Amino acid sequence: MKKNLLTLHDVSLKEIAHIFDLARKMKKNKGRFDHHLKGKTIALLFQKPSNRTRVSFEVGIWQLGGNCLYLGPDEIDLGKRESTSDVAKTLSRYLDGIVARTHLHQDIVELGKNATIPIINGLSDQFHPCQALTDIFSIQEKFGTLKGITLAYVGDGNNVCRSLMLGAAKVGLNMNIASPQGYEPADDIVEIIKPIAQKTKAKITITNSPQEAIRGAQVVYADVWVSMGQEKESAERLKKFRDFQINSALVKSADADYVFMHCLPAHRGFEVTTEVIDSPHSIIFEQAENRLHVQKAILIFLYSNKKI
């Protein structure tokens, strides 16, 4: 039966644990899973440019023995040259799966609804599930547990934040979110995670104070203040977010052994200072590497028929 990964709603806690277990095994023994996608072709259907998402998925598909086909906006412009539903139905006749990176989450939903092959959300304006799974995996890898760990996210309540909130609630990871007034996570995601967090006893807190969010946190997380498609808001956002910069003064209230994370690309001197991002506390490149291992695990989970 077809299974998608459009948001972290699509995977259970047991399935997340399975994906993490696969990722650990592949990171330790890179050649063990070489043929799990043999004979399969996965398309990267991208409306937005990408560094980590494209490279990690292309390399991952190749390492698993599959074929990767890149379809940029010049080849397929969803909803313009033809409807998203027609694209989904057509590509389902040629491919074994699609990783989509879209402007609108609704396009991901339409692909998932109309395709007969599994769809992976490689990023939309509302969610970034592969990034969130990688981040939580990286935290567990660093601390050996998620129990009692607090993730402090400082910045915009954007797609990365939304997925981290949903993932944290599912796995029982505490999360503090600090955003300027008017840029907090939307009410809909807050309502979605409440019953999940109650079940796992995850403490999810939203504040307008970065100092309050970071106090005692084992993980400090930053993201860009201006995402792709928000360039017209740059001046206003830079003004509103200037007190939310992760710097040496702010992180003094974090746990002494805190780690710094960023989904990248980073704008040094804006959401984070160079002294923090290049400090011994920073695990941003380990985090980036883990995109490869976790996404390979997701690919096997969704597309491989072989027993593991």
| Distance in angstroms (rounded) separating the CA atoms of residues 22 and 8 | 17
Q: Write out the two tokens for 32.
A: 């063990």
101 among known catalytic residues: yes
162 among known catalytic residues: no
130 among known catalytic residues: no
* DSSP 3-state of 122: strand
Report CA dihedral (159, 165, 167, 171) to the nearest 10 degrees. 170
Q: Write out the two tokens for 94.
A: 């040629």
Q: Which residue matches tokens 């996965």?
A: 42
- The active-site residue out of 47, 131, 245, 295 is 131
Direct distance between the N- and C-terminal alpha carbons of the chain, in angstroms, rounded to an integer:
18
CA 123 from centre of chain: 7
- The active-site residue out of 218, 263, 287, 295 is 263
54 among known catalytic residues: no
Q: Write out the two tokens for 121.
A: 């959300």
- The active-site residue out of 54, 162, 291, 293 is 291
| Distance in angstroms (rounded) separating the CA atoms of residues 125 and 149 | 28
Q: Which residue matches tokens 């792709």?
A: 228
- The active-site residue out of 52, 105, 128, 293 is 128
Give all strands of the β-sheet with 219-222 in edge-to-edge order.
204-207, 174-178, 150-154, 219-222, 259-262
| Distance in angstroms (rounded) separating the CA atoms of residues 6 and 128 | 9
- The active-site residue out of 101, 237, 262, 281 is 101
281 among known catalytic residues: no
H/E element holding 240?
helix 234-241
291 among known catalytic residues: yes
Q: Write out the two tokens for 147.
A: 């129990």
Catalytic positions, written as ranges: 101, 128, 131, 223, 263, 291
